[in-house]
């Protein structure tokens, strides 16, 4: 399919598409737009960065056409505020020449302004599930006119515990409607849950589940500890021409703040921003906008930003920590190499994270190429506390795989006690280490 004109979209939409810089439809757009226009329920699975948002927004706008009444006719649900804002921005871009009203609903701020917008009438609601339910239950939203229900990043919604809210929303929307579900990963559990509201869906899978985009070059570095990870990060950032726009993903808010503080000292606060769940809504929005506009070179983030963050020309994604939720790896690296561009995804892995790398490689059905740490990077000695934490984590992983595994710490305690007893000339206690063929409680026989 050579162009968007082949979909027989109206001229207003085609003009907006051209102004947005879209030239050739991506594979998911080619396969999804026609069945959606035909009124079918669609389950779409595609790599991140392949244009899933446009794949459902364009046919939906084509079918809604113009403003009608005061009640919403389309509801798009998103797991995070950031993704909801991005979808709303995309709708506004494509509906430049259409008389359609869109309202964005999300938590984290007072509902007063959102209630005022709803009272003026709308055609499309883009919302997070919790805030939508709150406003519905307070009588601000009438769902009787809904014709479209869209779940974007459906698997993440299930992971984040939205399943009960989704079921409640399904109870209050009309039975006769068109349902669309899109994501980059789709577990069997999500498929079963999707069966609750998708009626004989057209399944569009333009790539196998959890397949990273071919435009992303993946690299893995085995790095022993936190300080060496920081040294390697600095080494890469020296090349500011190649590493022009970077997202650094961290496992926790604490680590993200530490990395942000470190990079701010090195490169100045004007070069770095951080976003995570503890940051205020305005701070997060401003940080993402500054990064999108190219005013900030480095964005440090937890996985709150991994889904749906659409920033063009991200040169590198760096996984400072390996994600524990292995599906998030695909979404993280999908922030680069978007819309026919190429990008690099670099992952730092300490000994306790190797366990998750093996699971990620199984998920994506490919090995991540390993590179040696450059010679000029100083490899630091692992501090005692960090070494203990890594060893404990490896023990926990072994216990997950083998419930009978006692743990290295269990054996180590006995070895230490034995060494101490030997030094003092006493026999080590065998408590907890019963001899073969003898019971722990076995003692000398009493004379009769």
DSSP 375-426: TTS--PPPPHHHHHHHHHHHHHHHHHH-TT---HHHHHHHHHHHHHHHHHTS
Residue closest to 305 by CA, chosen among 358, 265, 250, 348: 250
Kind and range of the H or E element at 275? strand 272-275
Planar angle of CA 43, 44, 46, nearest 5 degrees: 155
Residue 208 has pLDDT above 70, yes or no: no
pTM: 0.62
Token representation of residue 428: 């080590």
SS3 call for 359: helix
Residue scoring higher pLDDT (416 or 447): 416
First CA to last CA distance, the chain: 98
Confidence of residue 326 (pLDDT cuts 50, 70, 90): confident
Q: What are phi and psi of 38, to 5 degrees?
A: -80, 0
Confidence of residue 400 (pLDDT cuts 50, 70, 90): confident
Residue closest to 162 by CA, chosen among 129, 131, 186: 129
Residue 218 has pLDDT above 90, yes or no: yes
DSSP 316-350: EEEESS--SSTHHHHHHHTTSS-TT--EEEEEEE-
Report the C-alpha gap between 288 and 279 in whole angstroms.
12
Report the C-alpha gap between 140 and 142 in whole angstroms.
7
Report the C-alpha gap between 204 and 102 in whole angstroms.
27
Q: Other C-beta atoms within 10 Å of 335: how many?
A: 26
Dihedral (CA of 395, 229, 378, 221) sign? positive
Q: What are phi and psi of 431, to 5 degrees?
A: -60, 125
Q: Do the two domains 4-205 and 216-384 of this chain adopt the same fold?
A: yes
Report the C-alpha gap between 149 and 158 in whole angstroms.
16
pLDDT tens digits, residue range 238-263?
Answer: 998 899 999 999 988 899 999 999 99
Report the C-alpha gap between 223 and 229 in whole angstroms.
6
SS3 call for 370: strand
Residue 46 has pLDDT above 90, yes or no: no
Token representation of residue 291: 């990064």
* CATH among 3.40.50.300, 1.10.150.20, 3.90.1150.10, 3.30.70.260 for 4-205: 3.40.50.300
| pLDDT mean over 7-26 | 88
Instruction: Spell out a b/e string for 373-400, using b for 16 or more CB atoms within 10 Å of the CB, else e.
Output: beeebeebebeeebeeebbeebbebeee
Confidence of residue 439 (pLDDT cuts 50, 70, 90): very low
Query: Where do the structural domains in the chain lie, given as residue ranges?
Result: 4-205, 216-384, 404-430
Contact between residue 82 and residue 137 where contact means Cβ atoms under 8 Å apart: no
Contact between residue 200 and residue 34 where contact means Cβ atoms under 8 Å apart: no
| pLDDT mean over 17-34 | 88
Domain 216-384, what fold? Rossmann fold (3.40.50)
> Which pLDDT does position 355 carry in this prediction?
94
Report the C-alpha gap between 403 and 400 in whole angstroms.
6
> Which pLDDT does position 413 carry in this prediction?
54
> Which pLDDT does position 129 carry in this prediction?
93
Confidence of residue 442 (pLDDT cuts 50, 70, 90): very low
> Which pLDDT does position 225 carry in this prediction?
95
């Amino acid at each position: 399919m050579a162009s968007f004109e082949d979909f027989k979209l109206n001229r207003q939409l085609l003009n907006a598409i051209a102004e947005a810089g879209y030239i050739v439809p991506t594979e998911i757009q080619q396969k999804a737009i026609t069945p959606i226009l035909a009124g079918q329920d669609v389950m779409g699975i595609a790599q991140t960065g392949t244009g899933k948002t446009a794949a459902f927004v364009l046919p939906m706008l084509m079918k809604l056409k113009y403003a009608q009444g005061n009640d919403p006719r389309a509801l798009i649900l998103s797991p995070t505020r950031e993704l909801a804002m991005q979808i709303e921005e995309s709708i506004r871009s494509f509906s430049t020449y259409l008389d359609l009203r869109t309202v964005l609903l999300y938590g984290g701020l007072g509902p007063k302004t959102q209630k005022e917008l709803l009272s003026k009438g709308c055609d499309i609601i883009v919302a997070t599930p919790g805030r939508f339910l709150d406003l519905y239950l307070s009588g601000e939203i009438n769902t009787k006119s809904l014709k479209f229900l869209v779940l974007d990043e459906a698997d993440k919604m299930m992971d984040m515990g939205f399943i009960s809210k989704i079921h409640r929303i399904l109870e209050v929307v009309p039975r006769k409607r068109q349902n669309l579900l899109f994501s980059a990963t789709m577990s069997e559990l999500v498929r079963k849950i999707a069966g609750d509201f998708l009626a004989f869906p057209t399944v569009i899978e333009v790539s196998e589940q959890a397949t990273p985009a071919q435009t992303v070059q993946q690299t893995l570095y085995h790095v022993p500890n936190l300080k060496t990870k920081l040294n390697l990060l600095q080494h890469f950032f020296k090349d500011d021409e190649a590493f022009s726009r970077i997202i650094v993903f961290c496992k926790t808010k604490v680590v993200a703040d530490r990395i942000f503080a470190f990079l701010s000292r090195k490169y100045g606060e004007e070069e770095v921003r951080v976003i995570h769940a503890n940051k205020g809504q305005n701070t997060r929005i401003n940080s993402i906008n500054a990064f999108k506009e190219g005013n900030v070179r480095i964005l440090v983030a937890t996985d709150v930003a991994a889904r749906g963050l659409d920033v063009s020309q991200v040169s590198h994604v760096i996984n400072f920590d390996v994600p524990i939720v292995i599906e998030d790896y695909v979404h993280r690296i999908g922030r680069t190499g978007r819309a026919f561009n190429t990008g690099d995804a670099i992952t730092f892995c300490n000994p306790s994270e190797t366990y998750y790398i093996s699971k990620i490689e199984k998920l994506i059905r490919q090995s991540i190429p390993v590179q040696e740490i450059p010679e000029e990077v100083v490899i630091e000695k692992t501090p005692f506390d960090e070494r203990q934490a890594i060893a404990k984590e490896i023990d926990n992983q072994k216990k997950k795989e083998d419930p009978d595994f006692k743990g290295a710490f269990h054996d180590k305690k006995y070895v230490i006690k034995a060494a101490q007893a030997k030094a003092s000339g006493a026999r080590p206690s065998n408590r907890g280490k019963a001899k073969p063929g003898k019971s722990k409680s076995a003692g000398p026989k009493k004379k009769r």
